[in-house]
Chains A and B, each alone.
Chain A
Amino acid sequence: GQQVMQIPQYQHVQEGEDFTTYCNSSTTLSNIQWYKQRPGGHPVFLIQLVKSGEVKKQKRLTFQFGEAKKNSSLHITATQTTDVGTYFCAGLGSNDYKLSFGAGTTVTVRA
């Protein structure tokens, strides 16, 4: 079945710096979703990307869907302590009917 890989597994960021986390699929995706799980919490939906090359922004977060619809990225600018948590991507393959989650990128922030 389809596999979704996320890199890096861990991201340690200085407060105020930018960083990017990546999501790669072995197959073409119909759409990709991003979720955030705060420490001690549960995953919460952030955004969905559907179109090739699509870019969406939520304040300091920029989400991008690759032209080939096989990869996606999340870029955070001016990282804050509120950005701490694990970010998951979840993809829907062209022939699938349920999402496949990546292993997540766990972000810690140094003040």
Chain B
Amino acid sequence: DVKVTQSSRYLVKRTGEKVFLECVQDMDHENMFWYRQDPGLGLRLIYFSYDVKMKEKGDIPEGYSVSREKKERFSLILESASTNQTSMYLCASSKQGADTQYFGPGTRLTVL
């Protein structure tokens, strides 16, 4: 079974802090994704990566950056956290971009 893990289930940070969210997948998938989930808005794509060191902006990249130095690991970075970035963050991976996506358990981030 594919396993996608995220570094924290819950995280509390202060406004202005730099925040790192990490995601690891163990199935040698090419593609990895970061979404945020807010009530009534569904899953919104922040960034995705289709190969090591490759990345593309999703629908809401502002305020975020990403890093993929190794195939199995995809990091989401909030350079200066703001309260409107309080959300559930979900990481996912897939073999190809159009294939089934396997999601991690999510990180609920609260920015105070």
Query: What is the interface of chain A, defined by CB distance below 8 A to chain B?
Result: 1, 6, 9, 30-31, 33, 35, 41-45, 48, 88, 90, 92, 96-99, 101-104
Q: B residues within 8 A CB of A41?
A: 105
Contact of A92 among B33, B59, B98, B104 (CB under 8 A): B98
A-B complex: 3 closest residue pairs judged by Cβ atoms: A103-B42, A42-B103, A98-B97
How big is chain B's contact interface, by range?
20 to 34
Q: A residues within 8 A CB of B100?
A: 33, 45, 48
Q: B residues within 8 A CB of A31?
A: 98
User: Is A43's CB under 8 angstroms from B48's CB?
Assistant: no
Bound-complex Cα distance A47 to B40 (A): 23
Closest chain-B Cβ to A49's Cβ sits at a distance in Å of 13
Closest chain-B Cβ to A37's Cβ sits at a distance in Å of 8
| Interface of chain B residues 6 through 57 with chain A (CB within 8 A) | 31, 33, 35, 40-43, 45, 48, 50
With A97-B97, A98-B97 known as contacts, the answer to whether A45 contacts B102 (CB < 8 A) is yes
With A30-B98, A103-B41 known as contacts, the answer to whether A98 contacts B48 (CB < 8 A) is yes
Bound-complex Cα distance A42 to B4 (A): 11
Query: What is the interface of chain B, defined by CB distance below 8 A to chain A?
Result: 31, 33, 35, 40-43, 45, 48, 50, 59, 90, 92, 97-98, 100-106
Q: A residues within 8 A CB of B33?
A: 98
Bound-complex Cα distance A99 to B43 (A): 11
Closest chain-A Cβ to B32's Cβ sits at a distance in Å of 11
Q: B residues within 8 A CB of A99?
A: 97-98, 101
Nearest residue (CB) in A for B105 is A42
User: Is A45's CB under 8 angstroms from B90's CB?
Assistant: no
